[in-house]
């Protein structure tokens, strides 16, 4: 069964970069909301429910922290709700914190999905002809982060079985966390050394190297890229004509629900869910063909 991961690396890369950039470039709550919902749907679709909800506490904590922190440090806005240590807490600052939190979580989810779909071999293939060194660095970086998190969990669980976290208290937890971090740092340095020796043994950096790849640019890739270009063009038109403008300070502006915003938002939402819709279609097709056997 075909999935979005089977597309050409250029198609996958353009989809995620476009989605992330469009999310970051405007603070319009409609765009942020669509990106936030799409990223959660995509992440939940490609992950098991257990894996998805395992990290949700971290995202929820980060989201609440941003909402709470913004009005404490930013006192802009005309609608004062109350005073805290003689500092005004405004409605605009709280809502802006919600907006920033939504943006941050959406970007984290998109990068999480990107890291799973855009594997290291695809990254190397994409950059090997233009900037091969950068492609290798990006590929190794994308692989290192999940490995780092997984190794930390393994070390922490091992230390727990040895009784490292048996004592309660903040000071003890800090000491134990430092021990885990030092063990993790030792592993990271040792792993980096093994990687460098392996690359040296394979002759990396000595002359021009050939590459073999199974990736082929097909008609489906062309269709997705054309849709990508269309979305970018519509976004530029909307942005230049100030149809996506939205302000939080000094007062929260109103959303201009005209036909342009409705059409663009609908197309953008479909575009962001395009990989999920494609894979659902392939699953339906697969089950249909199996029923015919």
Interval 88-134: pLDDT, tens: 889 899 999 999 999 999 998 998 888 888 877 777 777 666 666 66
Torsion of CA 250, 251, 252, 253, to 10 degrees: -100
Average pLDDT, the chain: 83
> Cβ distance 93 to 70 under 8 Å?
yes
Site of tokens 């575009």: 271
> What is the C-alpha R_g of the chain?
23
Which pLDDT does position 276 carry in this prediction? 92
Q: Which of the two residues, 16 and 165, has the higher pLDDT score?
A: 16
> Cβ distance 110 to 23 under 8 Å?
yes
Q: List the chain domain ranges.
A: 4-128+212-291, 143-210
- Of 45, 66, 69, 44, give the one whose Cα is nearest residue 55: 44
Q: Which of the two residues, 187 and 266, has the higher pLDDT score?
A: 266
Which pLDDT does position 289 carry in this prediction? 81
Asked whether residue 178 carries a pLDDT value surpassing 90, the answer given is no
Tell me the whole-structure pTM to 2 decimals: 0.75
* Residue 222 CA: distances (Å) to CA of 125, 142, 225: 18, 26, 5
Asked whether residue 267 carries a pLDDT value surpassing 90, the answer given is yes
* Residue 233 CA: distances (Å) to CA of 4, 117, 123, 175, 264: 23, 25, 26, 53, 11
CA angle centred on 276, ends 214 and 212, rounded to 5°: 10
């Amino acid at each position: 069964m075909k999935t979005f991961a089977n597309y050409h690396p250029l198609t996958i890369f353009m989809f995620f970069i476009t989605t992330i950039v469009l999310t970051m470039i405007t603070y319009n709550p409609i765009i942020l909301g669509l990106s936030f919902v799409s990223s959660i749907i995509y992440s939940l679709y490609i992950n098991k429910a257990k894996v998805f909800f395992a990290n949700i506490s971290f995202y929820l904590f980060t989201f609440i922290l941003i909402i709470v922190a913004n009005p404490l440090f930013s006192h802009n806005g005309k609608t004062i709700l109350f005073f805290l240590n003689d500092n005004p807490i405004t409605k605009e600052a709280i809502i802006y914190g919600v907006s920033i939190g939504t943006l941050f979580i959406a970007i984290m989810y998109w990068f999480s999905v990107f890291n799973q779909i855009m594997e290291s071999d695809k990254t190397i293939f994409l950059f090997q002809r233009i900037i091969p060194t950068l492609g290798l660095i990006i590929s190794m970086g994308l692989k290192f982060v999940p490995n780092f998190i997984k190794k930390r969990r393994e070390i922490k669980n091992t230390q727990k079985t040895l009784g490292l976290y048996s004592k309660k208290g903040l000071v003890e937890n800090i000491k134990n966390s430092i021990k885990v971090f030092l063990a993790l740092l030792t592993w990271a340095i040792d792993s980096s050394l093994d990687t460098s020796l392996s690359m040296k043994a394979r002759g990396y950096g000595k002359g021009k190297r050939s590459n073999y790849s199974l990736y082929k640019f097909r008609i489906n890739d062309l269709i997705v890229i054309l849709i990508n270009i269309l979305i970018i063009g519509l976004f530029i038109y909307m942005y230049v004509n100030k149809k996506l403008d939205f302000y939080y300070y000094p007062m929260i502006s109103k959303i201009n629900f005209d036909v342009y915003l409705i059409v663009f938002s609908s197309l953008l939402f479909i575009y962001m869910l395009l990989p999920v819709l494609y894979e659902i279609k392939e699953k339906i097709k697969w089950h249909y063909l199996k029923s015919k056997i």
